[in-house]
Structure 1
């Protein structure tokens, strides 16, 4: 009898574990069909990001082998074309890159050389805009602003 209880208890634990996982997983939702690395290049590593409300995220990436930064704005739920944009600026060198248009999934890439420099960057989807200034400046604190227009 003791063996049966152990087997039953073990089966119950396994069933609860799988059932709990399934219950927590919930229904699958639409996910972006791309990543910052697919947009900017596989050598680019994400160094910062900022949500654009619930619409998506703007990503700042960096490739240490060439010293370039790249930004891209990626929608949470790709679909019909929407007004989108992404931009990056290096105040020390006056380097600027941008990409704006009506896109189904992402805006960008926009590249600038930026090794050893602070960067300002941002993006928008529809009427939600995010600006990050003074970013990736070692101990300096960046400033983030999200606006709805």
Structure 2
């Protein structure tokens, strides 16, 4: 049974000053603050994941660059998905070789002089010239760099405005709030760049965390979640267009050696949840929204 909720609009923010109140001022329309809010950058990780960013942990850092990690061991996030912080066009997808310490680098142009950099990737999933949507998978966390530079896996992330390096590096803003430099742990709200009122966690239920995701163009994203408490996997496809209007949407989960479980129908917000327990086995997962389809290989094999 799908949940339904009323959307709240017209929320006004006020500051209380003693007995008086004053509206919070909007940024100047042409200011950098206004531009970055309009771009609506989100964290470069799937919706619902929590990561710790650190801008002071590397001597190679310039101003507002951020290194991201999660987990308790150096390799805990190796291979975790990295997604686009905002929609745009890929202008660099290459290994930088001996040029610098970026290793596998993806750079996305968001228009208006804004760009984002995703460095040290283990795998690059996009090509130069490709249009990407917000929340679309662009690679995985890695530790690639220049020869002889041995680093632990992490995502190096930058936001730039203009071309005068390094003064063009800007403070990162996620979901309209400036990152809490130098160190802050945040939960991603990069849910496909849509105004879908539901999250993958709400669809799957309490105790589920996102462990992987894949973009479905501008139509939405499909998510794989896991519950440490009961050992169940969950797949849900979240729509990002035609919200509230029933359209064909599908989510599926297949445990290796077992029949595929599928939820397919005309839904307003999401397909699923589809659950399966897969102790010691690999799973294949995917979904469809609009004309876009994602089918994973058998992966995320249990121990």
Same fold (TM over 0.5): yes
The alignment's TM-score, normalised by the length of structure 2, stands at: 0.37
- From the CA coordinates, give the structure whose radius of gyration is larger: 1
TM-score by length of 1: 0.73
Q: Within 2, Cα distance between the matches of 1:97 and 1:24?
A: 41
Match of residue 34 from structure 2: 22
Aligned to 2:225: 61
- Cα deviations by residue, 1:33-92 (Å, 9 ceiling, x for unpaired): 111100001200101101111211000000011111000000113242110000000014
For 1:45-124, list aligned pairs within 5 A: 45-77=209-241, 78-92=243-257, 94-124=258-288
> Quick check: 2:256–2:298 contact (8 Å CA) kept in 1?
no
More strand by share: 1
Distance 1:116 1:21, change over 3 A: farther
Instruction: Point out where structure 1 has 5 or more consecutive residues left out of the alignment.
Output: 1-14, 139-149
Aligned equivalents of 2:194, 2:220: Cα separation in 1: 12
Question: 67-76 or 95-104: which moved more?
Answer: 95-104
> Would the aligned equivalents of 1:74 and 1:106 in 2 still touch at CA under 8 Å?
yes
The 10-residue stretch of structure 1 (75-84 or 105-114) with the greater mean CA deviation from structure 2: 75-84
Higher relative contact order (CA 8 A, sep 6+): 1
Gaps of 5+ in 2: 1-26, 41-192
Moved over 4 A (4+): 27-30
Q: 1:30: how far off?
A: 4.7
Q: In angstroms, what is the RMSD of aligned CA positions?
A: 2.3
How many angstroms apart in 2 are the aligned matches of 1:30 and 1:68? 27
Aligned length: 122
